[in-house]
Amino acid sequence: MERIKCLILTVAIVALGIMHQGCATILGGKRNTLVFKDESIPVAQVFIDGKFIGNAPGRIKLHKGEIQHGSKLEIKADGYEKMEYLILRKQNPVYSVIDILIGGLPLAIDYLTGNIYRPFPRSFQYTLKKTQIITDDL
C-alpha cells in the first residue's frame, strides 16, 4: 500500500512539473540552430552583436539567450566584403496553440521565459564578394 501511495505521489509531482512548463520550454530545447549555406569560399567567421559564435558554412548552435530581437549577425572572411543580417525573434505559432489547448499557464510561462520565440531568419544563403583593391598609378 505504501508503494502505491509513493507511486501516485511521484506521478502527481511529475505531472504538476510538466504542467507548469510551457510547450516551448519542453519541446524547444535550450538552444537555437542557425544554418549557413555558401559555396563561394571555404570558411567565414560568424559574429552576433560583435561576438564570434562560429564558422560558416555549416550549423551553429547557440544558447537561446545569445540571440535577442534586433541582434546584428555578420559574416566575415579575409579578402571579402562582410555581410550583415538583422535577426528578429518571432513567436512560434505551433507552441502557442499547444499551450492554449493545455491551459493558459504554460503560455504565460513560455512568454516569461522567452522560450516561445525563435530567431528569424534561421537559415542563411550567402555569397561573399571579393573586396575591391584600389591602387593609384603614379
Higher pLDDT, 84 or 126: 84
The set of residues, in sequence order, having a beta carbon less than 8 Å from that of 117 and lying 6+ positions away, is 69, 89, 90, 91, 92
Cα dihedral sign, 106-108-109-115: positive
Q: Mean per-residue pLDDT for 8-12?
A: 79
Selection from 43, 68, 31, 32 nearest residue 126 by Cα = 43
Q: In this predicted model, what pLDDT tens digit does every residue of 60-117 receive, in sequence order?
A: 888 877 888 888 999 998 888 888 999 888 887 777 777 777 777 777 777 777 777 8
Helix (H) or strand (E) holding 9: helix 2-19
Task: Say whether pLDDT at 137 is over 60.
Answer: no
Output the CA–CA distances (angstroms, integers) from residue 38 to 44, 87, 92, 126, 132, in the order listed: 9, 19, 27, 6, 20
Q: Mean per-residue pLDDT for 114-126?
A: 82
Between CA 32 and CA 66 the distance in angstroms is: 9
C-alpha 16 chain-centroid distance: 27
